[in-house]
């Protein structure tokens, strides 16, 4: 992991990051999609989200720590990729790692009790991936970028040169093999949905239902709010859990059950829009929250509670959110 620590430091230094701010691309032309098509798409997103939450695999959300997310965002910024690529790469990394962990643990003989007791599973998995993990993470970005044909494409030569510039000496063949490994690891299914997709679609519906709401301006702000929530999700969801449970130290069972909340993309998308509204046009806050509740079926109280927790973290007053 040392190579990626160096990469993060290099990407963050002023000499290399004059244009480091996350690039916001106004890709959407609000109001152009027929409402019946938009409505069908929203229903489909809702069904996909429900199916995903109903079948959450073990370790879901485990591989979305701030450091990993930050690496992915920094790579997409440095390569001037569309923001959607970063969010898509996060989901691909999550899917790959969950599958890899399951496969690794399945190979541990049941009779090897001594090994299981003397060695943590996490150590075993880390040792198996420590030399290749930076490349796996980069491969997730590459694969995600290939899905967005309208975006800036990174060819293999450019990718190898980019990695070399941050101390990762890999050949084109090694890079392609890494991409293939990730591709197989996600079972050849790259078309996953991410939180930004939910934000965009819900905003489009909101703009149709409430034409007076400045969705174009909200969309720009939503990018920054979503990036903040994605980076700080561990702290934010911990505050939300303590607020819901009304206790300082939730039990392990409560934390495990709460994964369906942390992985709920529809809820996250709605609350990101609610926070952007709170910041941009507070006078419309209650109106927009009510409309978001109407659009998604999520209770106003739940939207409000989660949104205010996020606002508390943005303003640095998170202790008051619990």
Q: Which of 191, 216, 240 is the last residue of a domain?
A: 191
DSSP label of 320? G
Domain final residue, candidates 138, 167, 191: 191
* 185 lies in the same domain as 201: no
Are residue 167 and residue 255 in the same domain, yes or no?
A: no
State which residues form the domain around 134.
65-191
Kindly state whether residues 86 and 179 are assigned to the same domain.
yes
Angstrom distance (rounded) from CA 322 to CA 320: 6
Residues 297 and 211 in one domain: yes
Q: What one-character-per-residue DSSP string does 213-271 give?
A: S-HHHHHHHHHHHHHHHHHTHHHHHHHHHHHHHTSSS--HHHHHHTHHHHT-HHHHHHH
Widest CA span in the chain: 66
Q: Are 139 and 228 found together in one domain?
A: no
Contact 39, 205 (CB under 8 A): yes
Together in a domain, 306 and 225 = yes
Q: N- to C-terminal Cα distance for the chain?
A: 35
Per-residue pLDDT of the chain (322 residues; tens, 9 = 90+): 334 344 333 333 333 333 333 444 445 677 778 888 989 999 999 999 999 999 988 778 788 889 999 999 999 999 999 999 999 999 999 999 988 888 877 776 654 544 444 445 556 666 777 778 889 999 999 999 988 765 678 888 999 999 998 888 899 999 999 999 999 999 999 888 899 999 999 999 999 999 999 999 999 999 999 999 999 999 999 999 999 998 889 999 999 899 999 999 999 999 999 999 999 999 999 999 999 999 999 999 999 999 999 999 999 886 543 3
Q: Is residue 150 part of a domain?
A: yes
Q: Are 261 and 56 in contact (CB under 8 A)?
A: no
Q: Are residues 180 and 202 located together in one domain of the fold?
A: no
Please state, in angstroms and rounded to a whole number, the distance separating the CA atoms of residues 228 and 221: 11
Q: Are residues 213 and 186 in the same domain?
A: no
185 and 215 assigned to the same domain: no
Of 191, 222, 238, which residue is a domain's last? 191
What's the domain count of the chain? 2
Q: Are 154 and 270 part of one and the same domain? A: no
Same domain for 203 and 187, yes or no, is: no
| Runs of H (alpha helix) within the chain | 2-12, 35-54, 66-78, 83-106, 113-118, 121-129, 133-147, 156-164, 172-185, 195-209, 215-231, 233-245, 252-257, 259-262, 265-280, 285-296, 300-315
Tell me, yes or no, whether 168 and 229 share the same domain. Answer: no
Q: What is the CATH number of the domain that holds 75?
A: 1.10.472.10
- With beta carbons less than 8 A apart as the criterion, state whether 307 and 274 touch: yes
| Residue 141 near residue 72, CB atoms below 8 Å | yes
């Amino acid at each position: 992991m040392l190579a990626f620590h160096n990469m993060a430091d290099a990407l963050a230094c002023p000499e290399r990051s004059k244009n480091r701010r996350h690039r916001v691309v106004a890709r959407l032309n609000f109001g152009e999609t027929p409402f019946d098509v938009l409505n069908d798409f929203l229903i489909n997103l809702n069904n996909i989200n429900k199916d995903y939450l109903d079948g959450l695999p073990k370790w879901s959300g485990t591989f979305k720590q701030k450091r990993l997310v930050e690496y992915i965002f920094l790579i997409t910024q440095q390569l001037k990729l569309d923001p959607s690529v970063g969010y898509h790469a996060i989901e691909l990394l999550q899917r790959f790692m969950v599958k890899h962990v399951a496969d690794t643990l399945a190979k541990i003989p049941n009779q090897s009790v001594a090994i299981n007791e003397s060695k943590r599973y996490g150590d075993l998995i880390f040792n198996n991936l420590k030399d290749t993990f930076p490349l796996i993470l980069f491969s997730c970005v590459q694969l995600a970028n290939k899905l967005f044909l309208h975006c800036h494409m990174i060819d293999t030569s450019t990718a190898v040169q980019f990695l070399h510039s941050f101390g990762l000496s890999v050949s084109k063949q090694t890079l392609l093999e890494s991409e293939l490994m990730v591709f197989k690891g996600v079972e050849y299914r790259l078309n996953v949905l991410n939180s930004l997709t939910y934000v965009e679609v819900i905003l489009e519906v909101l703009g149709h239902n409430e034409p007076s709401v400045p969705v174009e301006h909200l969309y720009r702000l939503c990018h920054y709010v979503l990036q903040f929530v994605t980076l700080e999700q561990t702290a934010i969801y911990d505050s939300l859990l303590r607020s819901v449970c009304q206790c300082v130290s939730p039990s392990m069972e409560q934390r495990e059950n709460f994964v369906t909340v942390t992985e709920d993309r529809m809820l996250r998308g709605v609350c990101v829009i609610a926070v952007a509204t709170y910041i941009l046009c507070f006078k419309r806050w209650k109106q927009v929250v009510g409309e978001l509740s109407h659009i998604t079926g999520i209770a106003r109280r739940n939207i409000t509670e989660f949104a205010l927790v996020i606002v508390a973290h943005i303003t640095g007053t998170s202790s008051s959110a619990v």
